[in-house]
Structure 1
Amino acid sequence: MKISYIATYPTRECGIGTFTNNLFKSMLAHNLKNEHVLEGFVIAINDNDVSYKYPEEVKVTIRQEHQEDYLKAVKYINLSGADVCILQHEFGIFGGQSGVYILPLLHRLEIPLIVTLHTILKTPSYNEKAILKEICKMAHKIVVMSHKAVEFLVSVYDVPKKKIALIEHGVPDIHFSPEKSKKDFKLEKKKVLLTFGFIGRSKGIETVIKALPEVVQKFPNLIYIVLGKTHPNVLRHSGEEYRIFLLRLVKNLQLENHVIFLNEFIDEQDLFKYLYACDIYITPYLNEAQITSGTLSYAVGVGAAVLSTPYWHAAELLAKGRGRLFNFNDSTELAKTLNELLDKPEELSKLKNKAGEYGKKITWPQIGERYVALVENIMKDEHSVALQKETEPDLLILPPFSLAHINRLTDDTGIIQHAKFGIPNLKEGYCLDDNSRALLMVLMAYRQKKDMRALELSPIFLSYIHYMQNTNGTFRNFLSFNRNFLDKIGSEDSFGRTIWALGYLLGNAPNDAYYQTGKLVFFNASPNFEKLKSIRGIANTMIGISYYLKSNPSDDSMTERLRNLSNVLIKHYRENQTPDWNWFESLLAYDNGILPLALLHSAEILNDDKITQIAITTMNFLTSHTLKDNYLSIIGNEKWYKKEGERSVFAQQPIDAMSMVLMYHQAYSVTNDKDYLNKLYTSFLWFLGENDLRMSLYDFETKGCCDGFESYGVNRNQGAESSLAYLISHLTVLQAYEEFHRSDLKLV
């Protein structure tokens, strides 16, 4: 059996790397019960483009902030013959916002996944919570190291308890004589206090230093050793500021002969020698939010007498007499406890004995055996294949339809264009694009759900459109919050989107007053239809005309206009089409699905096989580049995708997902091919996390939709365009499946 490990790894100086190295060695030291020897290899995470000289088990390295490396690594794993993947998770070691880059890798794994969580936050940020929940969904088993961690996973992250395994932090099986260790370090005549690990503000070392004057007065032979380098992240952002602060504190308290700073990252042999040499080990962390501490586990594991502040792991690990606790930042209490224990050797011995008894149960050979057993159980389970990404429609997973965020963005003028997170950004004012989309969305919502709030909102958006129309039928686009016009003529895209919304209104008006207003604006604009040059402006206009013609099929003049506009798109297709490039332009840019969608609408009205064929051909071409591996991967707006170039992954935006949803819905309407319903549903799931970053764009708290995702992660702003794209897509999914069930067909 072969196991792949993903983590930091020595020679990189990192506690998780040391953990992984010990786990790797301890697991491979065991044979499975079927006498097959375990094999393994490591995928190592590098930081900030630094390279390391790794041992031979490291087969692939990932540069932390290079997402392409994660995708190359998962390809290697899938082709390696590995049976299980074990991931060590800590937010700070993976790239992107809150370590989001690990999600695309995990999503593509084709083998069962075990995840060891080294940090579980009680009050995570939005991104931290979303990322960890997604990781837990994909994992077959989640390993934690404390009961508090189990509690948090269940209560904060909604992880089923049966999915969680509690396996304590392993401790190397290394033994030294305390007396000889002291002698080797020339400490045999000293009372030795020790703290080790990466140094940073949160470690609270100043609490110990402030306690020392009172202790030194009673025990003048006392030495406090602070063993460890400044944490790399701290060093990168703050340099040695904290260490300098500690050195000044030592000097001010005249403790230069009693405090030693060893600025080293030492190997485990030397580390354990220091642990055996110390009389008392101290972890003085400043707050409770520490779910796992490897340094604390090591100290207990060797049977040291441990004093600690009551952070989560310490409160649990030092219970039942395995150590003593003192309050956060309480130097007075610490001094009192140190004096008491140093004055009573028998009390120290009791602490050491209790810790030593527990330490025997958590040595790495035993912890490795428990991980091996976990792997065996997963492999025995006949259902233990990589979790498949469902594309079979399940409307139960759709969030309830809600206009809450649209209400938040809308005032009596129209819908505010942008938002800061979930709050309207009044500085950016209004735009025609979004008010037209908003009109389309509320009309759909009222038609399908008889939502009265949608009906109440529709005249606001319609009146905005009317207000922005020029006397020649064109439209302005932008309006400031204080209702000043910001342009004279808007983009052709905004024109086309407005005609789409108006055409839909003319086919689905909730009352005659709205119909008459829409008709007036629509026909005032119609002389401009043939003047359009932008193919997306043309496509949006074609969709609006098609909706109008569904309820007005005898309008021959408008039918001819639709045919002429269709021919413009076809002309663009013929000019750019080659045997391996079936598209309207020499690149795939933004809102791509709108182009085949327009031809599909036109084909339905005109009943023209030529139009239908080109619509299907271009739709299939777009599908081949965006809908693979069972999820939608939108062409990013960062660089787009030029013919014979490389496609852009980032700056993916919700309007592109919406156009794909609408395109497949219309393809189903034209062809009655149920496969398009599955593609529609898969495209919609982009909003809910089935995407390249494996992050939900829909915000279940605000009921808005985030503005897309960049290389760093999700853009948390929730503007009108994005939220309307989500809601239109949501309503389209509901409409498609209502139509499907009415057709008396059955999905297989």
Structure 2
Amino acid sequence: MKIAYISTYLPKECGIATFTSDLLHAVALHNQDLTQHVIAVADRDYLYPSEVVFTIDQYHQLSYIEAANYINDNGYDCVVLEHEYGIFGGNSGMYILSLINALHIPLLVNFHTILEKPNVDEKAILIELVKRASIVVVMSNYAITLLKSVYRVNTAKVRLIHHGVPEFCLSQEEAKAQIGLSGKKILLTFGFIGRNKGIETVIESLAEVVKDEPDLLYLIVGKTHPNVLAHSGEEYRDYLKSLIDTYKLGEHVQFVNSFVSQSDLVTYLSACDVYVTPYVNEAQITSGTLSYAIGAGAAVVSTPYWHAKELLADGRGVLVEFKNPAQMARTLTALFSNQEYRMTLRDNARNFGKEMTWRNIGLRYTRLLDKVVPSQDGFKENVTFSKDEMPKFSWKHIDRLTNQVGILQHATYSLPNYKEGYCLDDNARALLVTLLAQRDFSDKKLDRRISTYLSYIYYHQRQDGLFHNFMSFQHNFLDEVGSEDSFGRTIWALGVLLRETKLTSYYQLGHELFFRSVPNFRQLRSNRAIAYTILGIAEYLHHQSNDEVMIELMRELVSKLIREYEASSDDNWQWFEAVLAYDNAILPYALLTAYPFLNDEAVKQLGLSTLTFLESITVQNGALSLVGNQDWAKQGKHISKFGQQPLDVTAMVFMYREAFRLTNKKVYFARMIASFRWFLGENDLKLGLYDEETKGCCDGLESYGINRNQGAESTLCFYLAYIIVYGAFIDSAQDSK
């Protein structure tokens, strides 16, 4: 195997250069037959080591094309691109696109920066890189979240591999002795120096800390960042020195103004008692310096930037507010005065850091490269689902039922039935489908669909926040107030809009509609309306997780469901009502969805226990056998088997998907798939309801066979289930690798 790395490279003093060198040597540990070369991106002449076989002139686009030609002509099997916007030429590093699009071999992209608020070029570049890559590597879970939420890319090819760290073998006392600081308590920051590092927060805090810790020494190890040096010189370092003088901390702060070798860095990290990263804002997706500190088993104090919140979770460090010297002082004082507390943090960090050693990280990359490199049969993309299992997604029938007003609720066979007009229920479902389909099934008409269904909802809302439901084809409302269920489904759809929409105008309207409805939440009586509303609140909380008012409102609604369960259940009937009626699985699904926000184990357990009760009635021989609407299912009585409705299937799919997410039990994944196959013929009549010709779904399973009308509810429910199952296949394939 022959691999080409595109990156900056040592001796350039750059974190990406160091990372690439470490990665190259780590991968070599696990494959002795591997040939690895570096295509180095350079801003000037460097005396490179032998593994650098080609140099790209950072500022000249033709050089990138020449590099692609070199790679294509010299028998490489794969390219590994270390991506950071600032190391490539062109607007936001755009020149790299001309290189990767000229390659004839697979590409693995390692993202070192993923921006929450990219400019137009930055967003376009990242999306193009993901599109071209065979595999994408990120170093934090939040990076995956941003790829989904900001860039709307398909994350099926994304893998999480933490930043690698060296192995730390020195004891703390040995390390302190080597740097001549035996007997000192050492506080350490290392890395390139610049104003975004927030070092002044630590210096300002030390005036209080050293009153109790006279032997404390704060080491600031690292050069001023080259870009900062070019534009501002040593202005920031001089500012820090003035603070040291102001607070009379000359004996307690020491600069090591150099780009230290890895061996020296290992010594400094091994010697420190507490490591601190006081960055001034949260937008840091990866921090190599923090990763090194965790690997060293340091007791870490940090501001809550993205990577720190993830790496320091579960007792691996302490977070303090941005730009808060007083809180920093209290935290440092507590750590230095309490050795047991400090050692607990160190042990937790060290145990986690063992998995991040370059030897282990190199093995992860080696396995990825084995998957990316073509076999003798040629390069094949990962197959995540069978075509026999799932038909091709199509908007054809949804669009057939939709006009400029909204989606019509009924069809005669596959033709729209104008006589029956419209309903809010189906337009809310249609909005759900279009929003959830954005990741994998977007097309040029998607925005128009979202606009149509959202406008319909807007037209149907009353001033008191409630909604009309039914409307004639002549646009006359047919009710004064719609059903609670239609209200709840609409809140669910609006919650998804607030989480998923890309457009500010849609978000603003959705926010207005959602919050105009909120005063009505507490008055809901229908169990299903309550469940739908819980789901809408959960979607809202995914992007506004600190809204305590909405969390408490969710808790109140969940409590209503629990009270209904307590009033209706007994030893033989573990359900919320005395009957199993329609859309049953939406009730356990709502509880399972609420659990992560309420952190109440009883809510989760009730969701799982009612799931078990429901499936004891509706799952037979591995296939879904639904409760029919002729007479529903009542305790101690015959269970009605017809007609079975697509609505119930979709709720089962959502329920099992959430149960699998929470428990990782494969049985739930299997039953989610079994539920979806109900549409394709795995049902009591062994007849498929999905129509390959029209791309619609039939309305139900009757004792005489299939109800061949293909209305909005059935078709939208089919595609909602489709999207969830498709996404689950993708996510499962990703997790297995």
1:383–1:147 Cα change, 3 Å: farther
Kindly indicate whether the alpha-carbon contact (under 8 Å) linking 2:109 and 2:133 is maintained by their aligned counterparts in 1. Answer: yes
- Secondary structure at the counterpart of residue 355 of structure 2: coil
Kindly indicate whether the alpha-carbon contact (under 8 Å) linking 1:281 and 1:306 is maintained by their aligned counterparts in 2. Answer: yes
- Structure 2 gap segments, 5+ residues each: 383-394, 396-737
Give yes or no for the alignment of 1:281 onto 2:279.
Answer: no
User: Partner of 1:269 in structure 2?
Assistant: 263
Alpha-carbon displacement from aligned partner over 1:493-539 (angstroms, at most 9, x marks no partner): xxxxxxxxxxxxxxxxxxxxxxxxxxxxxxxxxxxxxxxxxxxxxxx
Displacement of 1:155 after TM fit? Answer: 1.4
Q: What CA distance in whole angstroms lies between the structure 2 residues aligned with 1:361 and 1:355?
A: 11
1:197–1:151 Cα change, 3 Å: same
- Secondary structure at the counterpart of residue 5 of structure 1: strand
Q: What CA distance in whole angstroms lies between the structure 2 residues aligned with 1:292 and 1:66?
A: 28
- AA matched with 1:225: L
2:42 corresponds to which of 40, 46, 52: 46
Q: What CA distance in whole angstroms lies between the structure 2 residues aligned with 1:193 and 1:384?
A: 51
Kindly indicate whether the alpha-carbon contact (under 8 Å) linking 1:111 and 1:386 is maintained by their aligned counterparts in 2. Answer: no
Kindly indicate whether the alpha-carbon contact (under 8 Å) linking 1:113 and 1:386 is maintained by their aligned counterparts in 2. Answer: no
User: Partner of 2:323 in structure 1?
Assistant: 329
- Structure 1 gap segments, 5+ residues each: 388-395, 397-748
User: Partner of 1:368 in structure 2?
Assistant: 362
User: Partner of 1:340 in structure 2?
Assistant: 334
Q: What CA distance in whole angstroms lies between the structure 2 residues aligned with 1:95 and 1:173?
A: 35
Kindly indicate whether the alpha-carbon contact (under 8 Å) linking 1:304 and 1:351 is maintained by their aligned counterparts in 2. Answer: yes
Percentage identity across paired residues of the two chains: 53
Q: What CA distance in whole angstroms lies between the structure 2 residues aligned with 1:386 and 1:94?
A: 28
Q: What CA distance in whole angstroms lies between the structure 2 residues aligned with 1:5 and 1:94?
A: 14
Q: What CA distance in whole angstroms lies between the structure 2 residues aligned with 1:380 and 1:39?
A: 16
Give yes or no for the alignment of 1:199 onto 2:193.
Answer: yes
User: Partner of 2:224 in structure 1?
Assistant: 230
Paired residues for 1:12-411 under 5 Å: 12-31=12-31, 37-47=33-43, 50-379=44-373, 384=379
Q: What CA distance in whole angstroms lies between the structure 1 residues aligned with 2:344 and 2:10?
A: 36
- AA matched with 1:284: P
- AA matched with 2:184: K
Kindly indicate whether the alpha-carbon contact (under 8 Å) linking 1:109 and 1:386 is maintained by their aligned counterparts in 2. Answer: no
Kindly indicate whether the alpha-carbon contact (under 8 Å) linking 2:77 and 2:374 is maintained by their aligned counterparts in 1. Answer: no
Displacement of 1:178 after TM fit? Answer: 1.0
User: Partner of 1:4 in structure 2?
Assistant: 4
Kindly indicate whether the alpha-carbon contact (under 8 Å) linking 1:305 and 1:348 is maintained by their aligned counterparts in 2. Answer: yes
- Secondary structure at the counterpart of residue 62 of structure 1: strand
Q: What CA distance in whole angstroms lies between the structure 1 residues aligned with 2:372 and 2:79?
A: 11
Displacement of 1:73 after TM fit? Answer: 0.9
Kindly indicate whether the alpha-carbon contact (under 8 Å) linking 2:168 and 2:270 is maintained by their aligned counterparts in 1. Answer: no
Kindly indicate whether the alpha-carbon contact (under 8 Å) linking 1:27 and 1:369 is maintained by their aligned counterparts in 2. Answer: yes
Displacement of 1:174 after TM fit? Answer: 3.7
- AA matched with 1:41: H
- AA matched with 1:293: S
Q: What CA distance in whole angstroms lies between the structure 2 residues aligned with 1:276 and 1:258?
A: 19
User: Partner of 1:716 in structure 2?
Assistant: none
- AA matched with 1:42: V
- AA matched with 1:166: L
Q: What CA distance in whole angstroms lies between the structure 2 residues aligned with 1:132 and 1:95?
A: 15
- AA matched with 2:190: F
- AA matched with 2:351: E
Displacement of 1:383 after TM fit? Answer: 6.3
Kindly indicate whether the alpha-carbon contact (under 8 Å) linking 1:174 and 1:269 is maintained by their aligned counterparts in 2. Answer: no
Displacement of 1:72 after TM fit? Answer: 1.1
Displacement of 1:285 after TM fit? Answer: 0.2
- Secondary structure at the counterpart of residue 361 of structure 1: helix
Q: What CA distance in whole angstroms lies between the structure 1 residues aligned with 2:371 and 2:140?
A: 21
Alpha-carbon displacement from aligned partner over 1:408-447 (angstroms, at most 9, x marks no partner): xxxxxxxxxxxxxxxxxxxxxxxxxxxxxxxxxxxxxxxx
- Secondary structure at the counterpart of residue 257 of structure 1: coil
- AA matched with 2:33: V
Kindly indicate whether the alpha-carbon contact (under 8 Å) linking 2:374 and 2:380 is maintained by their aligned counterparts in 1. Answer: no
Displacement of 1:172 after TM fit? Answer: 1.3
Kindly indicate whether the alpha-carbon contact (under 8 Å) linking 1:8 and 1:44 is maintained by their aligned counterparts in 2. Answer: yes
Displacement of 1:377 after TM fit? Answer: 1.4
Greater Cα radius of gyration, structure 1 or 2: 1
Kindly indicate whether the alpha-carbon contact (under 8 Å) linking 2:189 and 2:221 is maintained by their aligned counterparts in 1. Answer: yes
Q: What CA distance in whole angstroms lies between the structure 2 residues aligned with 1:386 and 1:90?
A: 26
Alpha-carbon displacement from aligned partner over 1:636-659 (angstroms, at most 9, x marks no partner): xxxxxxxxxxxxxxxxxxxxxxxx
Displacement of 1:238 after TM fit? Answer: 1.1
Displacement of 1:385 after TM fit? Answer: 6.7
Kindly indicate whether the alpha-carbon contact (under 8 Å) linking 1:30 and 1:37 is maintained by their aligned counterparts in 2. Answer: no
Displacement of 1:386 after TM fit? Answer: 10
Q: What CA distance in whole angstroms lies between the structure 1 residues aligned with 2:192 and 2:368?
A: 31
- Secondary structure at the counterpart of residue 173 of structure 1: coil
Q: What CA distance in whole angstroms lies between the structure 2 residues aligned with 1:386 and 1:44?
A: 28
Alpha-carbon displacement from aligned partner over 1:209-243 (angstroms, at most 9, x marks no partner): 00000001111111001000010111111111111
How large is the Cα RMSD of the aligned pairs? 1.8
Kindly indicate whether the alpha-carbon contact (under 8 Å) linking 1:13 and 1:265 is maintained by their aligned counterparts in 2. Answer: yes
- AA matched with 2:379: S
Alpha-carbon displacement from aligned partner over 1:11-46 (angstroms, at most 9, x marks no partner): 000001000001101111212xxxx71111001111
Kindly indicate whether the alpha-carbon contact (under 8 Å) linking 2:294 and 2:349 is maintained by their aligned counterparts in 1. Answer: yes
Displacement of 1:175 after TM fit? Answer: 1.9
Q: What CA distance in whole angstroms lies between the structure 2 residues aligned with 1:228 and 1:312?
A: 22
- Secondary structure at the counterpart of residue 40 of structure 1: strand
Deviates more, 1:376-385 or 1:85-94: 376-385
- Secondary structure at the counterpart of residue 356 of structure 2: coil
Q: What CA distance in whole angstroms lies between the structure 1 residues aligned with 2:148 and 2:81?
A: 20
Paired residues for 1:374-523 under 5 Å: 374-379=368-373, 384=379
Alpha-carbon displacement from aligned partner over 1:682-734 (angstroms, at most 9, x marks no partner): xxxxxxxxxxxxxxxxxxxxxxxxxxxxxxxxxxxxxxxxxxxxxxxxxxxxx
Paired residues for 1:563-712 under 5 Å: none
Q: What CA distance in whole angstroms lies between the structure 1 residues aligned with 2:278 and 2:333?
A: 16
User: Partner of 2:656 in structure 1?
Assistant: none
Kindly indicate whether the alpha-carbon contact (under 8 Å) linking 1:309 and 1:328 is maintained by their aligned counterparts in 2. Answer: yes
Alpha-carbon displacement from aligned partner over 1:294-338 (angstroms, at most 9, x marks no partner): 000000011111100000000000000111110001110110011
Kindly indicate whether the alpha-carbon contact (under 8 Å) linking 1:110 and 1:385 is maintained by their aligned counterparts in 2. Answer: no
Q: What CA distance in whole angstroms lies between the structure 2 residues aligned with 1:385 and 1:200?
A: 45
- AA matched with 2:343: S
Kindly indicate whether the alpha-carbon contact (under 8 Å) linking 1:85 and 1:112 is maintained by their aligned counterparts in 2. Answer: yes
Displacement of 1:384 after TM fit? Answer: 2.8
- AA matched with 1:5: Y
Kindly indicate whether the alpha-carbon contact (under 8 Å) linking 1:110 and 1:386 is maintained by their aligned counterparts in 2. Answer: no
Displacement of 1:67 after TM fit? Answer: 1.2
- AA matched with 1:61: T
- Secondary structure at the counterpart of residue 108 of structure 1: coil
Displacement of 1:173 after TM fit? Answer: 2.0
Displacement of 1:380 after TM fit? Answer: 5.6
Q: What CA distance in whole angstroms lies between the structure 1 residues aligned with 2:380 and 2:72?
A: 13
- Secondary structure at the counterpart of residue 357 of structure 1: helix
Moved over 6 A (4+): none
